Amino acid sequence: MDCGSTKVEVSRFYALIALLALGGEVAWAQGAPVGTATTGDASTAGALAKDAADTLLGVEPVRDVSEQELAAAEEAVKAEPDSPAAHAQFGRACLDAQRLDCALAELREVVRLGGESADIQHDLGVGLSMLSKWEGAMAAFKRASEIAPTRYDAAYNLGVTARKVGAGRVALDAFTRATTLEPRAADAWFSLADVAAKLHEPDQALAAYKKVIEIRPRQASAHNNMGNVLLDLGRKEEAAAKYGEAAKLDPRDSDYPFNKGVANYRLGAYDKAVKAFKEALALKPTDVKALNNLGVIYGKQKKFDLMIEELKKALQIDPKFTAAGYNLGLAYLGKNKVDLAISTLQDVLLIDPAFVDARRALGDALFQKGHIALAKAEYQEVLRLRPHDADAMRQSALLSSVEGRVDDAIAQLTEATKLNPYDARAAFYLGRALAEKGEADEAEKRYLEALKIDDTDPEAYFFLGELLAARGRGTEAFKAYEMAVKTDPAYGPAHFRRGEILLTRDKHDLAVEAFKAASKDPDLRSEALFKLGETYFRQGKLDQAIKTFEQSLKLRPGYAEVRAELCSAMFKQGQVDKALAECRRAIRENPKLSRAHYYLAFALYKKNYKDPAIQSFRRAVEEQPDFAEAYYWLGQIYLEQKDAEKAVEVLKKAVQLKPELDAAKIALEKAEAALAPK
């Protein structure tokens, strides 16, 4: 039996884009309200924040101001046009009546006449705020705070308006002063925490939220937003706990279980995340973001049918929700429904032509279908929209490799790794391209770089093993294959290679387990069953060997190599006629298969058809000139036919090809002795 290395068809395992790894490259729903803890990274989920109050302090409820009162105040101004007090009274009456133009004019006149006070500036700030003139309002509240540094409402309102105009540091200082003036003012602490979080001052934000919770233990929004800060710090378990507390305090608000789902997603606790998003949807069934994120988690769990179901629900509610459409395209890729993926992603791009991730995924899907020119066009458009998109550059490089432009692929992948030094796939593909070009040292270096970035990639371990094996470093190669199956126990190619190595080491039981594991991979099943049958043959388990070879042939009926080994097993079991039939069929399937001729020769010899057996052995060495065993058995038949001269000729060839073949040496001595003069 031939136990040499069998070529494994593994193209799909490095074919680039079978799925745009749902392990991260998914579009989490964003679009949360102002004050969220979201980022712009489409691969992470944003937690929803509760905004601090925007209500100004010191604004009295609107009261009815009679026309007579307004008229009297106006008459007082006419009587004493230079009186700050008269203008102040008229201005406040106008403010109460929401006659804001009048109010602002009169209050400014008070300041012009020298009657400025903290009250006047504060009222001026209130009036400007009511007109949404935030910068003017901020200036007025700032002036009020300067005049009356101990005035809490001026400091607080300065913080509110500063936050409105994006003056974060001014707001932070103002709310800090407000909390100093009123240490038990929970709203000021909450606003301080909110601003500190936005300014990426997590320690200050956490301290402020703790103070809010100390003052108001049941304020759910404080627990929630504190969770957001913890989540941004990577303290995911603490964040999940905080969201849980918020949900208990306010069980009617869907944002809190939503955020708990986000935290559990980031923890990798997918079952808990699913439960949390379902709780959010029970409270708000039309929440497309929760539906989208639930779908994404199902994708992480490889539950693509459920993923598709949830994403379709989201799109039924909001057909223009492109994040869900994009993820639905990825789900179809996960199900290998590439045509549906293409049409879905095209629909997304009709809505948002600049959705770069969707366009790149469309390129991947087209690539997978073999539409190389169309895929290239999509990648080029991605690079036009985002010139330094390392992912598109990586995929474009793969196209170059497919087209045989390996040097171009290497250049593009090198650039991609520079743009994103943490792109493990780019480093891996660069290793593949370098290996293809024969630059083994550089290829090995790139594989190791890829594994340093992501030590859970079975493909990188596998192809590192392939490279090491090709370089004669079998022990290291075996370790690499071992790591591949450790990181992904379902990774068939690595199980197959392990089985081959174990077979050469005569560790048959371990080889059986390895080939059984490899046979679970649909793309390797026939080949793995072939090698499993070969292992059973080595163990002398002929019934199992024959059964396994037959299983392999059912999957691949024209596989002549397997049929030849089936012939050999049947011959050894004594089923000579069946062996003859299978060998002849194998030869019809592949006339150049030397082993089929070799095994046929044995069966013919067993039937005492010596001349046909000689012809078959001759054909075996014709197809495989270094086939020492065939020369040996040919010599044995010649010896039996008393043709010592021909026996010597072929037995010398056998010994020359395989000096360690002792049986050939003995037979050669016998043949030479027969030729010696008596």
**pLDDT, position 348:** 96
Percent of the chain having pLDDT more than 70? Answer: 91
**pLDDT above 90: residue 113:** yes
Q: Is the pLDDT of residue 656 over 50?
A: yes
**pLDDT(283) > 80:** yes
Tell me what pLDDT residue 515 has.
Answer: 96
Task: Check pLDDT > 60 for residue 104.
Answer: yes
Residue the block writes with tokens 């924040």:
49
**pLDDT bracket for residue 58 (50, 70, 90):** low
Query: Averaged over 7-31, what is the pLDDT?
Result: 28
Mean pLDDT lowest among 209-213, 416-420, 496-500, 627-631: 416-420
In this structure, CATH architecture of domain 1-18+286-387: Alpha Horseshoe (1.25)
pLDDT tier at 39, thresholds 50, 70, 90: very low
| pLDDT band at residue 583 using 50, 70 and 90 as cut-offs | very high
pLDDT at 422 over 80: yes
Cβ atoms 225, 50 nearer than 8 A: yes
Write down the pLDDT at residue 21: 26
Q: Is the pLDDT of residue 17 over 80?
A: no
Q: Is the predicted pLDDT of residue 36 greater than 70, yes or no?
A: no
How is residue 466 written in tokens?
Answer: 């392939």
CA distances to 22, 356, 359, 360 from 380, rounded to whole Å, are: 23, 11, 10, 9
pLDDT band at 401 (very low <50, low <70, confident <90, very high): confident
Q: How confident is the model at residue 330 (pLDDT cuts 50, 70, 90)?
A: very high
pLDDT of residue 38: 26
Domain with CATH 1.25.40.10 in the chain: 1-18+286-387, 218-280
Cβ contact 208:189 at 8 Å: yes
Q: Please give the pLDDT value at position 342.
A: 97
- Give the pair of three-digit tokens for residue 545: 């060997």
- Residue 488 binned pLDDT confidence (cut-offs 50, 70, 90): very high
By mean pLDDT, which of 36-40, 93-97, 237-241, 266-270 is the weakest?
36-40
Q: Looking at residues 119-143, what average pLDDT do you find?
A: 95
**pLDDT tens-place string over residues 231-247:** 999 999 999 999 999 99
Q: Is the pLDDT of residue 1 over 80?
A: no
- Quickly state the pLDDT bin for 303 (edges 50, 70, 90): very high
Nearest Cα to 56, choosing from 196, 176, 152, 195?
152
- CA 339, distance to chain mean position in Å, is 21
Q: Per-residue pLDDT for 622 more than 70?
A: yes
pTM of the predicted protein model: 0.66
DSSP 270: H
pLDDT, the chain, mean: 88
Q: Is residue 307 helix, strand or coil?
A: helix
Q: What fold is seen in the domain 218-280?
A: 1.25.40
Low-confidence winner among 47-56, 215-224, 296-305 (lowest mean pLDDT): 47-56
Determine contact, residues 115/87, Cβ cutoff 8 Å. yes
pLDDT value, residue 391: 83
**Quick one: pLDDT at residue 65?**
77
* Rounded-to-integer distance, Cα 551 and Cα 534, Å: 13
Quickly state the pLDDT bin for 176 (edges 50, 70, 90).
Answer: very high
pLDDT value of position 55: 63
Mean predicted confidence (pLDDT) in 660-667:
93
